[in-house]
């Protein structure tokens, strides 16, 4: 038994079965402790976590500076409403906007950030313009507006009627966007890199062409950076990879090093349209999350983690390119910083369980894609260890075809 655990995995599972709504598919282990890219279960088994917190734990598990910031802040202020000013919120907003642009609004999650961006786009444009263009295979969250913005029919089943005011274009297809622009359109919203949709990377000019199209038609350009923010791609924000300036970006997941936190950045001339009384978030910008976010920014800079992302990304790429030459089941490799998708010709789901049995945690998405979102501070040794296990698993799966 792990000394941190108070009960076995099986006992915890039994408690869940009796008292927790079963709306998640869960793996049959109870995790009790984490450190960096390692995590341990109640029985003491170690796992190398290459998908920590679904990308939220951008510095791995329990980064010391974030832990210390939370502990110190909790001794002073845990929560006060946004009726007052706090030092942590001002300092974190400054840290984000000086590395990005504009002004910040804070909430608790990516879906809330998307809701804020949608509201701001509609508030800033004329009342007759309300329609937002999003993209097939995108993912924007689980609230009703965010679900409607998510152009994947599997997430719409049984939830109708969905919200009005959304149309879906094809990713990397400017003509399909142009066909949807009319007098009711107010914004284009896109993930710079589609994460849940399979780690889909835009062609070199696609985002710039969307910028031009938005300017030509008086539309706002929104980048959903919930997954690509905070150095995930090797720059502070994903838009900086393509040097395309959006009007609004949404933020969450790794924003506060694993503490629940979301937000948007909006250009200074647009931000005031989110005027008092039109939008709010009770826990948004709370001192704990803000202190954790500021510690996350400082850790990324103090430990030169943007450089580490570039180096480790190349290392992952090298491992998987060699494997692709060996295994015909690897159809395509898509890598951008610490976003890695290995697209297979066969279902990717079995790889998750097989890797977990060998002590490595990964994800499968979009039916055929093995997806990794490693922490920014993953080490070369951990990259090699993880790739060796994944390679063994994919060889085993290839032999079964």
Residues forming beta bridges with residue 167, ordered by sequence position: 133
Instruction: Report residue 81 CA to chain centroid gap.
Output: 26
Q: Is 111 a known ligand-binding residue? A: yes
Does 41 belong to an annotated binding site?
no
Tokens of 293: 């976010």
CA nearest neighbour of 224 among 187, 257, 251, 261: 251
Say if residue 282 carries a ligand binding annotation. Answer: yes
Q: For residues 154 and 138, is the Cβ–Cβ distance under 8 A?
A: no
Cα–Cα dist 373/362, whole Å? 8
CA–centroid distance for 156 within its chain: 21
Cβ(359)–Cβ(46) below 8 Å: yes
Q: Which of 186, 182, 110, 206 is nearest to 150 (CA)?
A: 110
Is residue 16 part of an annotated ligand binding site? no
Find out whether 224 is annotated in a ligand binding site.
yes
Assess contact for 206 and 172: CB atoms under 8 A.
yes
In whole angstroms, give the CA distance from residue 378 to residue 375: 5
Chain position carrying tokens 């983690």: 305
Could you tell me which residues are annotated as the binding site for N(2)-acetyl-L-ornithine?
142, 281
Could you tell me which residues are annotated as the binding site?
110-111, 139, 142, 224-227, 281-282
Could you tell me which residues are annotated as the binding site for pyridoxal 5'-phosphate?
110-111, 139, 224-227, 282
């Amino acid at each position: 038994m792990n000394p941190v655990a108070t009960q076995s995995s099986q006992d915890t599972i039994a408690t869940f079965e009796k008292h927790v709504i079963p709306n998640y598919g869960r793996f049959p282990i109870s995790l009790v402790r984490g450190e960096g890219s390692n995590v341990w279960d109640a029985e003491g088994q170690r796992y190398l976590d290459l998908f920590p917190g679904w990308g939220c734990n951008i510095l791995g598990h329990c980064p010391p500076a974030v832990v210390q910031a939370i502990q110190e802040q909790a001794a002073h202020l845990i929560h006060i409403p946004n009726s007052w000013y706090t030092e942590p919120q001002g300092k974190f907003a400054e840290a984000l906007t000086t590395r990005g642009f504009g002004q910040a609004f804070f909430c608790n999650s990516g879906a809330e950030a998307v809701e804020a961006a949608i509201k701001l786009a509609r508030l800033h444009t004329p009342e007759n313009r309300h329609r937002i263009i999003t993209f097939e295979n995108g993912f924007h969250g689980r609230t009703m507006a965010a679900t409607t913005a998510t152009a994947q029919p599997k997430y719409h089943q049984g939830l109708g009627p969905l919200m009005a005011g959304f149309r879906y274009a094809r990713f990397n297809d400017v003509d399909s966007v142009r066909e949807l622009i009319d007098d009711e359109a107010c914004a284009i919203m896109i993930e710079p890199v589609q994460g849940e949709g399979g780690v889909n990377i835009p062609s070199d000019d696609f985002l710039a062409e969307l910028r031009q199209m938005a300017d030509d038609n008086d539309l706002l350009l929104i980048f959903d950076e919930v997954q690509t923010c905070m150095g995930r791609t090797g720059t502070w924000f994903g838009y900086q990879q393509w040097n395309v300036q959006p009007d609004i970006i949404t933020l969450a997941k790794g924003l506060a090093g694993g503490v629940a936190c979301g937000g948007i950045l909006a250009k200074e001339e647009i931000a005031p349209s989110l005027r008092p009384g039109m939008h709010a978030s009770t826990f948004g910008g709370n001192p704990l999350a803000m202190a954790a976010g500021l510690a996350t920014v400082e850790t990324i800079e103090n430990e030169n983690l943007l450089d580490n992302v570039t180096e480790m990304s190349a290392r992952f790429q090298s491992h998987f390119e060699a494997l692709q030459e060996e295994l015909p089941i690897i159809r395509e490799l898509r890598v951008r910083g610490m976003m890695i998708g290995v697209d297979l010709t066969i279902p990717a789901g079995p790889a998750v369980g097989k890797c977990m049995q060998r002590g490595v945690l990964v994800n499968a998405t979009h039916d055929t894609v093995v997806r990794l979102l490693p922490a920014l501070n993953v080490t070369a040794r951990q990259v090699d260890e993880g790739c060796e296990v994944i390679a063994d698993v994919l060889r085993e799966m290839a032999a079964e075809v």
